[in-house]
Structure 1
């Protein structure tokens, strides 16, 4: 029996083209809440960038969880207890900043409510439009750091995504993991944290097993979570790796694939128990 529903946000729950969460997704998640199934949002977004969704589904009252910045920060919503808090050291940020200079690409740092970047890039506009995060473009990114740094990134509109990823991986070393969240952008996270390590902390806190988890996502950073969950799905607009990892494939984010997964696989399973 499913006790925890874990859902990625961007391009899974939320459709950027329509700039909304499809109403069918909202209604389906609320059905899960009414049935007593715990909701957990797992995202590459910083925690403040998830707050609107947290409030939409009243996670504090409904005892939900948040896995933010790819597992680097995990929070139990009812009392805001921090279960995981793993951020970059200053030396690690400097290492990534130097790599960006060596590669002649833009470098960006995510803060709680704004981004800092060495030059304008598409991810800044996406976060501004979709997550309401302002941005600062500056040569001195370190001057504006005020919060712990859970995510840094590299961007370049003139290099293919695969080539940019290859360059960053080659120079980044083995202490980091790399993902393409948006075109022309490579996100960098700490190697030992990901959405699965965050999920393991959540189920430990709840006292349940992975078999009691349903998860849905769209990108390579969802793969470990999708493979581990009792049942999982990937939206049709997802990456090939995410589709291969998931047990089911559902409609794309614009067509409310999250609702399809809930209605056809989670709620139906509950009826058959």
Structure 2
């Protein structure tokens, strides 16, 4: 009798434990699905990050690219800051590739009209699929807003068409953007650097959904994005001749300068 009661108790305990584990797993699944749904719902975000890419840094790793006009080694590379994208952001974290009722398709006229500031058809398509779908806008509306925000920002003079390499600190670059753009404050943008010599990679500028400048969220943590005291800013290659006839001097110019980093 005692052994039977012990076996019954053991089986009952196992059933209770299994039930608890199942309930816990279901609760975790529901929490995950709820979070995923929130992350991926079009129009559900806190602010935009306008991402400006420093084209010479991007193209430095793509010297063999013959298909994208931005980095084509056979042609001029006149690009300095270009539009990388407009990213919907949460104050912490971000949505991406949000589900939409219609296929996230970018019409060719929309692609063509963006190529002056976003010189890669593949990038235009990619950015809408990954980020634009979370804006709640169709492709035309998303890129109209992207252009409006891009053109509202004044680029500091020495970054418009620099023909010589520069060294600059992230703080100094932020100061220059703030000085050039009335209403912009230091917490409304962040600088990213990467690779050998801490090359300038991108500038992120934060906007509200309505299109006005606003403080950035935790995604634009300056210490995380670039810890360098100074960054190397490679120059623009404005003519095909510069990249063809002056390879040696350009290689020397593109090399990170000596000294502390």
Give the alignment's TM-score, normalised by structure 2: 0.28
Q: Which has the higher strand share?
A: 1
Give the alignment's TM-score, normalised by structure 1: 0.27
Bigger CA radius of gyration: 2
